[in-house]
Amino acid sequence: MIKPIDKKRSKVLLDAYFRDKSLVGFNVDSYNKFVNYGMQKVVDEEGSIIPDITPRGVKSVEIKFGKIWLEEPTLVEADGTRRSSTPLECRRRQATYSSPVMLEVSIIEDGKEIEKETIKIGSLPVMLKSSICVLSDKTPQELVELGEDLNDPGGYFIINGTERVVVIIEDLASNKVFVEPVKTGKVTHEARIYSDDGQYKIPHSITREKDGMIYVTFPRAEKIPFVVFMKALGITKDSEIVKLVSTDQKFSTDLYINLYESKSIRKQQEALAFVGKKMGFSQSESVQVERGEEAIDNYFLPHIGHDAKSRYAKAVFLAKAVKKLLSVSYGDLPPTDKDHYSNKRLRLAGDLMEALFRYAFRMLKGDIKYNYERTTKRGKSPTIRSIVRSQMFTSRIMSAMATGQWIGGREGVSQSLDRSNYFAMVSHLRRVVSALTSSRENFEARDLHPTHWGFLCASETPEGPNIGLRKNLAITAEVSTEPTLSDEKLANLLSKYGLKSNGSIDVYLNGVIIGYVDDAESFVKAVRRARRDKYVPSEVNIRNAVEENAVYIYSEQGRARRPLIIVEEGRSRLTHDHLEQLEKGVLTFNDLVEQGIIEYLDAEEEEDALIALSEDELTIRHTHLEMSPLIIFGSQAAMLPYPEHNLAPRVLIGSKGIKQAIGLYSTSYLVRSDTDTSVLHYPQRPIVKTDIYDYIKYDLHPAGQNVVVAIMPYDGYNMDDAIVVNQSSVDRGLFRASKFVPYRAEALRYPGGQVDEIGIPDKSVQGYRAEEDYSLLQDDGVVPPGVSVSPGDVLVGKTSPPRFLTSLEEFKIGVESRNETSVSVKPGEKGIVESVLITETEDGNKMVEVKVRDPRVPEIGDKFASRHGQKGVIGLLVPHADMPFTSQGIVPDIVFSPHSIPTRMTVGHLLELLGGKVGALGGRFVDGTGFVGEEEFDLREELKRLGFKDNGAEVLYDGKTGRMMKAQIFIGNMYYLRLKYMVADKLHARERGPVELLTRQPTEGKAREGGLRLGEMEKDCFVAQGAALALKERFDSDNIKLPVCKKCGLIAIYNKYRNKTMCPIHGEDAPVDFIETSYAFKLLLDELKSLVIYPRLIIKPKT
């Protein structure tokens, strides 16, 4: 049981945390660092351009890049004018919310600068609420005036009017050694290293074979003996190689075998030539040496360095990697657990945008060089404006953002933001997507790992093939961004605390050996003390890996980190005084971090920590204390009341249901035009709520209603998860909602001066509909607001020029035929025109957007759910008079099946009913926060004091007969959700309609007015019923009468106008019969003929 002091600590600390922190703040910080530092870093690293062709009389030319920055977000109109843009305008005009990228470019000829100019090299999408966004410093009143939601966290982009989020990508950590056993082949164990210098990520492999030989493989070079490689790096003495690896006698046999096999190569030059030859260069030895040096310096462990000075450091790193490989193969160390979260890195939007920016900038550099050389060849003098084409840079950035196809072949990096409700949006912004494909099993990668505690939500993941691959960050988890100190400066700083140039224990910083220490424990304690005293940056994490005789320090970006209370000598640094000051607002959460009371740990340093859940558990060995038990959940699972009383799958389904609930997805929904969104008319705050509801400001975006629920059967209509709903409650507005569907029409311009025209189409246009279809349009061809529309009604009248010459009329002079391309209400849709927007796109085309509102009253088949994963559809709407009622006249809104509780074991469902009843009767809100909520015993006692049975049961009377029910019924209040899945969206029927052009069978899908497929099993049902004629009618959808030649069995040709037949082989005199068959069969015959197969039909008379 959680003690009151732990409950108070949880409440106060989480309150303070969310006052200072945003749920997506780290992603915005990542983008800000990319804009402020990352872009300049890329420009500096890429360097200048040296053209191969120079103007006459000029010996050398250098195109140099200087400062780069983003200007304020702008919108370029069709006439070329620029003006400031806002997110709302970009959403409504289908534009991209972006800023111009300005770069200083200079041309230097023979060491003299001849031209310098600041030029726009392209546009870059702007993240909402970032430092460059116009919303970043606005007051609440100004945000409302700009048409924005006050509670919108930002962290996403607007591309072509669509909100898109760059999801967090989970990847293996770079610059670490991963050792695993190999079960097949000659190799027994393999060590893999993904060396990343910020520009390239290069895989390396070190393998140990059954005969003891160790080989090194990296791009361009395969299976180079380890000893040869050490000699190529400059370690030519055998004794030095053994000393660098290990002097342990256990490994001596393996090392001697490798030394003996490579004894013929003694000098560094010979080893370099061997490497060059392995790379496929068969030239002279000097060329091979040169190629070997190039490969070792540029492609082998590039994160350590790119020049000859770094070779010794690379040799030391390689030797330590071989030592780890041998230690694992001899059982001294366990194989690397790739699923341990210290071995994972999370790539945020800033990191991913930097990689995309680098790729686009390289393409721009190549284009600038090509343009300069082309202009020079023509004898012209190139200028900066003539050689820089901004379209190339912009198109590559925008293409990746619009499609999600990132560099490296990765897909789905940029996704359309889920706007089902506010919580679905927050969940999407905190989603972590694994790089693994869902088509492979990868059971271990999908499992919940112990190191996920506090970093990833233990419950929120999709069902189906993506389970375990798409995860969500826990509520207090953050991701480290670009460090404040460079690795070099941090290494110099650490020298004050015992870091030396020699010693017995290796010290790694971000995957590079930076020195040694003799006493690892003292060094680690000193660094941690300095971090708490703010002498060392707070983003630094350190671990003493005793089993590896090494100390690992990390400050790099992409590490999942979480806050913990520091414990010293068995006592928490957080006192009662601190809690009181936090409650009063005297202290903030950031103050606790600054004062060294709370610190952030990553999964690496957690291996050195012993963390207590409550203060009662604290011993002298404990190092930290959890802020709250709620930290194991993500933002959605934390919204479930009493989750600890439900089975884990129900918590998963419950968190999924919250994201599918209809509510107030945005307070600015009236001026937005989102696709497929619904709004609940009378949303409420829940009586039983959790602490997270206050932190995410649930009151601004509620998504459910409090209802009275009775758990009892009702004539079988609530079996199989169905629910019975009070018709009078629905009539009074229970769960009433509206669905909004936008329709857009754009007047496009075509080559040759042809344009689309928006207006009421003339009767002469091709495809003109019936006059009543255009009856709702006004003179400008647009439907007015407030009009009721039904399927097929034209909302925007539009005609287009013909795209193809389809008839002889097109050749007549002075005749222009136009096609009818009006926008009409989709089949199965209806509603009331909510608003009409007439504007222009970025290209200057006229655009009309009509938003249709469809009132959705709950009906049989609509889906509902509680917050405990108890989902079901309405099975029956019962009149008020027939519903059961209590002795006080309380009539339930929903009758829930009792059979759904024991099998799902959702005890939290029952506790919420109990708590809701207490809250409704007592006029207060009940705290159902996981692990620290109000206890069942206290709720029962309060219910008893209110004059009810403590078990929540009451006597109910049958509404039909008026008789008292023999059993007492469990009845109470709970928060129910109406989900976005509604019968009105699924209902579909068709009598006749369009067919596929190829097969002549009915189209598929509701959107295409398709037919309903009659499959094999449905066919069997018809056969079993003996419905032969009905079956024939169903199979006649592509019925055709084929002329077939009796002699050769081929399909003949039939001239309908002359009523003549002709066989392609036997001519006009051939006997031809017409057979009734499916057009799909005729298509099969044509396919066979295309394969040069003679499909002969043998015709016999019907018997």
Catalytic residues: 721
Residues 6 or more apart in contact with residue 947 via CB below 8 angstroms: none
- How far apart CA 548 and CA 507 sit, in angstroms, is 11
Instruction: For residue 752, give the amino acid letter.
Output: G
Count other Cβ atoms within 10 Å, centred on residue 1024: 8
**Six token digits for residue 462:** 């999709």
| Helix (H/G/I), strand (E/B), else coil: 662 | coil
Cβ–Cβ < 8 Å for 350, 31: yes
- How far apart CA 344 and CA 558 sit, in angstroms, is 8
**Six token digits for residue 327:** 């230690």
**Six token digits for residue 953:** 């049961």
Cβ–Cβ < 8 Å for 386, 374: no
- How far apart CA 681 and CA 164 sit, in angstroms, is 27
**Six token digits for residue 360:** 């686009």
Pairing of β 505-509 and β 550-554: parallel
Residue 868 vs residues 50, 906, 907, 910: alpha-carbon distances, Å = 65, 7, 9, 10
Q: Name beta bridge partners: 57.
A: none
Q: Phi and psi for 274 in degrees, rounded to 5?
A: -60, -45
Task: Report the phi/psi class of residue 343: left, alpha or beta, with left for phi > 0 and alpha for psi in -120 to 50.
Answer: alpha
Cβ–Cβ < 8 Å for 148, 669: no
Cα dihedral across residues 456, 458, 461, 466: positive or negative: positive
- How far apart CA 67 and CA 45 sit, in angstroms, is 13
| Helix (H/G/I), strand (E/B), else coil: 898 | coil
Residues in the chain: 1103
Instruction: For residue 486, give the amino acid letter.
Output: S
Cβ–Cβ < 8 Å for 63, 107: yes
Q: State which H helix or E strand residue 192 sits in.
A: strand 187-196
Nearest in space to 93 (alpha carbons), one of 650, 671, 899: 671
DSSP structure class, residue 628: -
- How far apart CA 1028 and CA 153 sit, in angstroms, is 61
**Six token digits for residue 102:** 């300005």
Cα dihedral across residues 1067, 1069, 1071, 1076: positive or negative: positive
- How far apart CA 338 and CA 178 sit, in angstroms, is 7
Q: Phi and psi for 1025 in degrees, rounded to 5?
A: -85, -5
Pairing of β 431-434 and β 168-172: parallel
Residues 6 or more apart in contact with residue 827 via CB below 8 angstroms: 791, 792, 1006, 1007, 1009
Using only the alpha carbons of the chain, give its radius of gyration.
Answer: 36
Cβ–Cβ < 8 Å for 208, 188: yes
- How far apart CA 25 and CA 32 sit, in angstroms, is 10
**Six token digits for residue 665:** 């997805």
Q: State which H helix or E strand residue 397 sits in.
A: helix 390-403
**Six token digits for residue 804:** 């193809």
* 974 class by beta-carbon count within 10 Å (0-12 exposed, 13-18 middle, 19+ buried): buried
Residues 6 or more apart in contact with residue 1100 via CB below 8 angstroms: none
